[in-house]
Amino acid sequence: MAVRSLSRSLRGISALVALLAVGAVGCSEVVEDAKDGAKKVARQRSVFSLNPGDCYNPNGKATEGEAVAIEIVPCAEPHQAEVVGEFTLDEGKAFPGNDAIWAIADERCPAEAQKFSPDTWALPKGVEIFYYTPTTESWATGDRAVSCSYTKETGTITGSLKAGPEASKPEQTAYLKGANAVYEALWTTQPEAENVEDDLDGYKAQAKAVAAALDAHLEGMKDIEGVETGKLRAKLEKTAGHWKKAANAADSDAFYVAYDPAFTGLDPKATVAARKELGLATTVPADDAEVWAG
């Protein structure tokens, strides 16, 4: 999942409102445009006022840069973003720098997003994680907050992305917690070297992390009833064994032999039947489907 950053700023807001002179009575389109413009201005809020659950539209394209104000909108209306969480950075006298702050946000914001919307399969296509962070200027005034959002650069979202009561059933929570941790272990520990021969220890460390996450996932699934969930659990037990063999491989050849069934054993398509049984989303995200398509 792509993560980008939006920084805040204390620079003042200068709202330019164009006044349209209606030359003829009955120009309803012009009047409606004027009403929409007035509504947008009335909804302007400081970026510092964002709270979890707020739906909003950035003033401008959501890319790296500085932001001062946003347009708060009801979540029932089409919008581009929703705040999914926030956290406070450790106090410090000196500004740590953008890279240091972004490194923390890269780790913390996905975790906040998962708490807000545990089933990532249920998210609309094209949703990404963005965040607002302090700038040098705002840090000097005591700003330490990071606001995490789900954002669509293209198109809009209608309705809140927050998981409802139906997603808080114990079996769903247990499954999603374990499944999310497995894929997080797989991707966050991916070595930079493309070839196993160039970093066997790095790939073995990745295999060890995935095996540990699978063990925890299996432990969480043991009390979940259901035929399809039972089948998936049996499959993942074998998959965990392959990851453990990869973690203990004596050389790159042995690693490759274990890695192939280990990786294919995590194919998300194999979880669809169990997800359906648990009442979770069943459409494999496009990015995941492409990875396991080969």
Among positive and negative, which fits the CA dihedral 138, 141, 147, 151? negative
Q: What is the pLDDT of residue 65?
A: 58
pLDDT in tens, the chain (294 residues): 333 444 443 222 222 222 233 333 454 554 455 445 445 566 688 888 889 999 999 876 544 556 677 899 999 999 999 999 999 998 777 899 989 999 999 989 988 998 899 998 999 888 999 888 998 888 988 889 999 999 987 889 999 999 766 566 899 999 999 999 999 999 989 999 999 999 999 999 999 999 999 999 999 999 999 999 999 999 999 999 999 999 999 999 999 999 999 999 999 999 999 999 999 999 998 888 888 886
- Name the residue among 285, 183, 174 with its Cα closest to residue 226: 174
* SS3 per residue for the chain: CCEEEEEECCCCCCCCCCCCCCCCCCCHHHHHHHHHHHHHHHCEEEHHHCCCCCEEEECCCCCCCEECEEEEECCCCCECEEEEEEEECCCCCCCCCHHHHHHHHHHHHHHHHHHHCCCHHHCCCCEEEEEEECCHHHHHCCCCEEEEEEEECCCCECCCCCCCHHHHCHHHHHHHHHHHHHHHHHHHCCCCCCCHHHCHHHHHHHHHHHHHHHHHHHHHHCCCCCHHHHHHHHHHHHHHHHHHHHHCCCCHHHHHHHHHHHHHCCCHHHHHHHHHHHCCCCCCCHHHHHHCCC
Q: What is the pLDDT of residue 289?
A: 86
Output the six-digit token pair for 112: 């906040």
pTM comes to 0.74
Q: From CA 263, how far away is CA 260, in angstroms rounded? A: 5
Q: From CA 294, how far away is CA 290, in angstroms rounded? A: 7
Q: What are phi and psi of 48, to 5 degrees?
A: -75, -15
Q: What is the pLDDT of residue 44?
A: 80
Output the six-digit token pair for 132: 């607002």
Q: From CA 29, how far away is CA 249, in angstroms rounded? A: 70
Q: From CA 277, how far away is CA 254, in angstroms rounded? A: 37
Q: What is the pLDDT of residue 34?
A: 42
Q: What is the pLDDT of residue 40?
A: 57
